[in-house]
Amino acid sequence: MNKKTNLVIVPCHSIWKIDDRLDSENYGQCSEHWFLAPFQYEGHDHLAFIMHSLLAIEKLLEDVSGSLLLFSGSCTKADAGQVSEAQSYLSLTLKLLTAVTNGIELPVSLKNSTDIYKVCERITENMKYQGLSVTELFAKHISTEEFALDSFDNLLYSLARFHELTLNYPSSVTIVGFGFKTKRFLQCHACAIDYPLSKIEYLSYEPKPQYSETEKIEAYFNDLKHQENKNALELFALDWYGTKEPLRSKKTKRNPFALSQNYKLPLKLEKPILNDKEFFETKIQGKMPWSSLSHI
């Protein structure tokens, strides 16, 4: 793989039903095309998943030779079989962009998702300008990280996977995901592993509940913020590395096939860390292969 220094991460949140035999027009535009959790329906999260993937590719195309895009997420759904979130996102995005570049008529339901349709057009125009085919784009510049079980893993394992593929660590990281998770990635995870915030960019695209009433929209996003604080920010503030309860059990529940990563990580997290601050100061701070980036 060519010398790459920029990492683009898409933290995955679900699994697309890849089997095209079920529906030839399955581009992920309908909720039934996904293995969704109950809380992912109201905001039409599945459409945001597609947008995260496309916006990440658009970011990749800004410096395609120097960048690598990784879809990050493990096999989290027993009903889906051993198909990872990452592989399903990659397969969906490949199918969609192949269709668009080949002039295949897209389903009306997908065309009605104007944000998706517009970014697809921008991507295909950009690729045409750069003389880049979909096949080449995916073969040389896009891959997967298939062991992450939570957002901390998304960041750490993607750094490790980048190193596995390129033999170096990225000098910059772009994360493309839900805006309400920005604090979690930047203030919790990046700080916990000493990755300089000055070298991270977060691009957000939020869920879009189909409400016309302002009050309902405000209530929806207020609840999102509340749930993020309760189920993530407050927990990671007490358990920086997700090695204790309840975060540890959450990861176990998301791992129905008992898969385990084998990356060469620069830090060891096998056992519960009793004192996160002490662990950070003695094992992490200034000692990570990316710590020195803060001086660049």
Mean of pLDDT values over 134-148: 98
Tokens of 135: 């096949």
The tens digit of pLDDT for each residue in 39-84 reads: 999 999 999 999 999 999 999 999 999 999 999 999 999 999 999 9
**pLDDT tens-digit profile of 218-271?**
999 999 999 999 999 999 999 999 999 999 999 999 999 999 999 999 999 988
Contacts (Cβ under 8 Å, ≥6 apart) of 3: 66, 166, 168
Residue type, 244: K
For residues 192 and 280, the answer to whether their CB atoms sit within 8 Å is yes
CB 273 within 8 A of CB 241: yes
With a threshold of 0.95, does the pTM exceed it? Answer: yes
pLDDT over threshold 80, residue 1? no
CB 76 within 8 A of CB 149: yes
The predicted structure's pLDDT at residue 270:
80
- Give 96-104's long-range contacts (Cβ < 8 A, gap of 24+): 96/27, 96/28, 96/50, 96/54, 96/120, 97/57, 97/123, 97/124, 97/134, 97/137, 98/134, 99/27, 100/124, 101/127, 101/133, 101/134
For 49, what's the count of Cα atoms within 13 Å in the CB-facing half-sphere? 32
* pLDDT band at 94; cut points 50, 70, 90: very high
In our burial notation (b when 16+ CB lie closer than 10 A, e otherwise), range 147-156 reads bbbbbbbbbb
Q: State the Cα–Cα distance between residues 227 and 233, nearest whole angstrom.
A: 9
Closest C-alpha to 12, from 47, 42, 52, 40: 52
**Half-sphere exposure for 177 (CA within 13 Å, toward CB):** 26
Which residue ranges make up each domain of the chain? 6-295
